[in-house]
Amino acid sequence: MSGRVQSLKRIYSRRFQRGLKKIGSFFMRAAIRRLPYGVVVALSRWCCSVRLFQRLFFRKDVQELDYLLSLADPSADRRSAIRRHLMGTSLHFWRMWALDTRPWPALQDHFPVRGRDKLDRALAAGRPVIVLNSHFGGARAIPTLLAVLRYRVTSLEGGDVMESMGIEPSENLSTVDISNTFPARVIAIARRALKEGRVIHMLGDGYAGDSGFPVGFLGRTRQCRTGFAELAVGMSADVIPVLAPIDGRGRALVQFYDPLDSGDPGLSRAERVDHLIRQYFLFLERHWRRDPGNAQGLHIQKLRLQSSPLEPTTAASS
């Protein structure tokens, strides 16, 4: 009986938290309609440069970033990295609300987009497309941005973030909560969406899941998950990485990159999956080293807690 009571408490606690998020979303969205987005960015930029603000509200974030700087680039400009890191964190959800509520012409200077031609070419050729995102910079805004740019997107999400924020599904944007959906059903939904010409948006650097293998990353060994690669190989899809680093002015610099090399058709399925995964993590490692300030705090923490020092054998195989 006590187990059932605890289970009910957890269920109602989650519902209560979801209700609070929706109430908060309502007031935040109302504020967004009245405050110019540039004013919010300027205020965030100033606050994130003040050391007292950093110590009061973002002490743990700064500590995690210091850990990453020790791995990626100890000579990096720490002050600049902290400011970009905190601007990314403090406006994490505000970007989504703004994109969902404000006209695109009022926002496009804050979200300069490069590399759309790579996405357009693949879609025009009738190829299935996976836009592969990661926990970096303004990543959370990418699905909403794609919908604003009139792409038809199905986003595989690790929770009901969109719903809790009051962002309604539309023809251009649908979501699948993979944390509450059987993996086989997620794959079936994603395959159907790709066949219908929709873009699949997903994260490639998550830790959740069972399938995967270790890779070297910033001198550590971490687990990678093979979901995006399995889907890409099974559907012969183009995998187009996207990043949205935050610059010193608080803009999200959205960049679509060349599709990952899918490997020689003569390779086995497992070899092609391996090829895609290792290629992608080398791509991510380069950007984490080049711009550690844009790595997201929770994901830095996961790297610290869920990885181990790189063994020479792993380094050779990576």
DSSP 284-300: HHHHHHH-GGGB-HHHH
Flag whether 67 is in a domain.
Answer: yes
Element (H, E) at 223: strand 220-225
Q: What confidence category does residue 316 fall into, taking pLDDT thresholds of 50, 70 and 90? A: very low
Which residue in this structure is represented by tokens 């610059």?
A: 247
Flag whether 2 is in a domain.
Answer: no
Lowest mean pLDDT among 34-43, 139-148, 150-159: 34-43
How many structural domains does the chain have? 1
Give the pLDDT mean for 72-88. Answer: 90
Full residue range of the structural domain in which residue 55 is found: 35-317
Lowest mean pLDDT among 18-22, 90-94, 174-178: 18-22
Q: What is the average pLDDT score of the chain?
A: 86
Rounded Cα–Cα distance for residues 51 and 261 (Å): 44
pTM of the model: 0.86
Per-residue pLDDT at 115 exceeds 50: yes
Flag whether 14 is in a domain.
Answer: no
Q: What confidence category does residue 89 fall into, taking pLDDT thresholds of 50, 70 and 90? A: confident
In the prediction, which pLDDT does 307 show? 85
Is 309 exposed, middle or buried (CB count within 10 Å of its CB: 0-12, 13-18, 19+)?
A: exposed
Ranges assigned E (strand) in 228-298? 238-243, 254-256
User: 45: closest CA among 228, 298, 250, 220?
Assistant: 250
Per-residue pLDDT at 24 exceeds 60: no
Flag whether 243 is in a domain.
Answer: yes
Per-residue pLDDT at 119 exceeds 80: yes
Flag whether 28 is in a domain.
Answer: no
Pick the more confident residue, 207 or 124. Answer: 124
Flag whether 6 is in a domain.
Answer: no
In the prediction, which pLDDT does 3 show? 59
CB 245 within 8 A of CB 113: no
Q: Which among 66-80, 178-192, 270-284 has the top mean pLDDT? A: 270-284
Flag whether 12 is in a domain.
Answer: no
Q: Is 51 helix (H, G, I), strand (E, B) or coil?
A: helix
Lowest mean pLDDT among 145-149, 178-182, 196-200: 178-182
Per-residue pLDDT at 22 exceeds 70: no
Q: What confidence category does residue 189 fall into, taking pLDDT thresholds of 50, 70 and 90? A: very high
